[in-house]
Amino acid sequence: MNINYIKTQGSDSNISIIFNRGSVNELKEEYGYTHLLEHCLLEMFRLEKDCTLQAYTEFDHVEFDFLIFQNSGDDIYINIFDNIKRIFIEEHITEAVLRQAKKEVLNEIKKFNPRKKMTSEFSEIISAGNVKRIPLGEKASIENVSIEKIEAFKKKFWDNCKILLLAVTEIDYASFVSFIPNVIMKLRVITIKFL
């Protein structure tokens, strides 16, 4: 594991967790599963009130951006890492979560018009260029995903990914690192930026 400690300037307090697997890693029969998994995980996060989360699926990575409001305590960092550990290692995707995630993804597919200029709303496909299979996925493959298939895909995703962690935060480096659960520390590559 590498930890690169880069001092930086800025006033935002946020954490981005980037998994180095995207739609290019999908098998033919898994088309759109990365994007669907991203929506399942979004449903599974239970974050503190003073933190908002956005996520994007790209060809080569999935990114979760946590925006933390100022004056929130250090608990928020612990909460984020606990969530990562829980949703990937301890909990399974439920039928209710999958149903909701499918609904959201199918809605995005329905709204997507490749001839229209892309907006930030479709950041999943901004980097799509002229590649035929876009990270968004397609109706048939998403509709047919079973709970067993997406759960197996989640496991494969986690087992094969490395995490890049980018943090811009006002707390000191040693405390921040101490919040990261061992299970993530042990296996992943982490880069941290500090104020």
DSSP, collapsed to helix, strand or coil, labels residue 50 as coil
Q: Which residues pair with 66 in a beta bridge?
A: 15, 53
- For residue 57, the minimal CB distance to Zn ion (Å) is 6
DSSP, collapsed to helix, strand or coil, labels residue 15 as strand
# residues contacting Zn ion (CB under 5 A): 1
Q: Which is nearer to Zn ion, 144 or 178 (CB)?
A: 144
- For residue 47, the minimal CB distance to Zn ion (Å) is 18
* Site for Zn ion, residues 39 to 98, rule: CB under 5 A: none
Structure-block tokens of residue 130: 């002229």
- For residue 194, the minimal CB distance to Zn ion (Å) is 30
By the 10 Å C-beta count (0-12 exposed, 13-18 middle, 19+ buried), 160 is classed as exposed
- For residue 124, the minimal CB distance to Zn ion (Å) is 5
Mask: binding to Zn ion, 93-122, rule CB under 5 A, as x and -?
---------------x--------------
Contacts of 7 (CB under 8 A, 6+ apart): 193, 194, 195
The residue ranges that bind Zn ion (CB under 5 A) are: 108
